[in-house]
């Protein structure tokens, strides 16, 4: 019968059989999936695993610090942090198409992992190994929605599934491929990960790069980071974190509207709040958040974030809308 204990045992066996005595690296995104995948692989192969955190500049406020502190504290895993903001922003310059953004981000991730792998091999003074393993926290819904499931159209290239470059030099280790999010959380609990990690709301691997409708630039990212931090702060303060699945905040960078602030006319950008409730992200409904919480978020964002003069609420379920806007 199905228990989380069985899953852990089964996957630990499978990972050992696949990786043997080789080295593996795992990209950490700050999300639940990669954290649980990493903890599971660490359980299986210990120090043969090195986690790599790519600071691509598309993270939310405080995310990097959270990975560096909480995850390492909880697992004792070996962590390598790669500063890659310029690389990602250069690659994304001038690109507005959502699928193109996803492919670029997926490709740059892999390039960074390849470089990290080469450095690890060099540091260990080993000859270049033939096989390098890359651990990914791919879940069942990611597989289905990227067109890897049975007879499903490709909805989006999740960067850890459909968005990989063709000349991939890694063999993938994907121990969560058959699981849904709630099951992943149970596995995380079983592995002893703390609540802050296990109960975290989902956050997409491509980060804020797919929450800016339009070109991704440093200024726009900074602005969105501020708006997102305010929304998260107020939702947490209102005790709503466990009631919603997640709440993307999206910057409509190519849209402007007229506003008035003080005695001046403004011509700024809107941000969209996209709070959703869901069981597994395959379908979702828009969350009926209390008006006073929405009001507080709106007032704070328009007061505190320069260039944002309007906050709008997305009241679309999935389907027809996906959770993320891109």
CB of 66 to ligand XMP, least distance (A): 16
Are the CB atoms for 52 and 83 separated by under 8 Å? Answer: no
Q: Which of 23, 60, 103, 158 binds ligand XMP (CB under 6 A)?
A: 158
211 binds ligand XMP (CB under 6 A): no
Query: What residues numbered 94-133 form the site for ligand XMP, per CB under 6 A?
Result: none
Q: Which of 41, 230, 281, 297 binds ligand XMP (CB under 6 A)?
A: 281
What span, in angstroms and rounded, lies between the C-alpha atoms of 131 and 134? 10
Contacting residues for 11 by C-beta, under 8 A, at least 6 apart: 40, 44, 175
Is 33 annotated as contributing to ligand binding?
A: yes
* 100, containing H or E segment: helix 98-123
Is 35 annotated as contributing to ligand binding?
A: yes
Give the number of other CB atoms < 10 A from CB of residue 233.
Answer: 14
63 binds ligand XMP (CB under 6 A): no
Is 157 annotated as contributing to ligand binding?
A: no
Q: Is 285 helix (H, G, I), strand (E, B) or coil?
A: strand
Region binding ligand XMP by CB under 6 A among candidate stretches 53-61, 186-194, 201-209, 221-229: 201-209
Contacting residues for 25 by C-beta, under 8 A, at least 6 apart: 49, 50, 51, 52, 113, 116, 117, 120, 132, 133, 134, 135
Distances (CA, A) of 73 to 68, 76, 309, 324: 8, 6, 40, 31
188 binds ligand XMP (CB under 6 A): no
205 binds ligand XMP (CB under 6 A): yes
159 binds ligand XMP (CB under 6 A): yes
Is 228 annotated as contributing to ligand binding?
A: no
Query: What residues numbered 243-262 form the site for ligand XMP, per CB under 6 A?
Result: 246
CB of 154 to ligand XMP, least distance (A): 11
Question: Residue ranges for the binding site for ATP?
Answer: 29-35
Question: Residue ranges for the binding site?
Answer: 29-35
């Amino acid at each position: 019968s199905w228990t989380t204990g069985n899953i852990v045992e089964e996957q630990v066996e499978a990972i050992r059989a696949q990786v043997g005595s080789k080295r593996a690296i795992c990209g950490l995104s700050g999300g639940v999936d990669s954290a649980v995948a990493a903890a599971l692989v660490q359980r299986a192969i210990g120090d043969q695993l090195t986690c790599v955190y790519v600071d691509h500049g598309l993270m939310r406020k405080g995310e990097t610090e959270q990975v560096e502190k909480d995850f390492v504290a909880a697992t004792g895993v070996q962590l390598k942090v790669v500063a890659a903001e310029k690389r990602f922003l250069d690659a994304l310059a001038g690109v507005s198409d959502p699928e193109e953004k996803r492919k670029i981000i997926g490709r740059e991730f892999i390039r960074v992992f390849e470089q990290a792998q080469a450095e690890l091999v060099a540091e260990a003074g080993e000859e270049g190994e033939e096989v390098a393993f890359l651990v990914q926290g791919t879940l069942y819904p990611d597989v289905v929605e990227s067109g890897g499931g049975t007879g499903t159209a490709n909805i989006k290239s999740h960067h850890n599934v459909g968005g990989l470059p063709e000349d991939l030099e890694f063999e993938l280790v994907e121990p969560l491929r058959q699981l849904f999010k709630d099951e992943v959380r149970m596995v995380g609990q079983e592995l002893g990960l703390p609540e802050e990690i296990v109960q975290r709301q989902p956050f997409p691997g491509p980060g804020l790069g797919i929450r800016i409708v339009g070109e991704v630039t440093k200024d726009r990212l900074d602005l969105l980071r501020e708006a997102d931090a305010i929304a998260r702060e107020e939702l947490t303060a209102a005790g709503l974190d466990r009631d919603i699945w997640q709440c993307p905040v999206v910057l409509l960078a190519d849209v402007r509207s007229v506003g008035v602030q003080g005695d001046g006319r403004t011509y700024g950008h809107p941000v969209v709040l996209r709070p959703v409730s869901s069981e597994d992200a395959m379908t979702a409904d828009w969350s009926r958040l209390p008006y006073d919480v929405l009001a507080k978020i709106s007032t704070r964002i328009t007061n505190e974030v320069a260039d944002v003069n309007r906050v709008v609420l997305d009241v679309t379920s999935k389907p027809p809308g996906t959770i993320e806007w891109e």
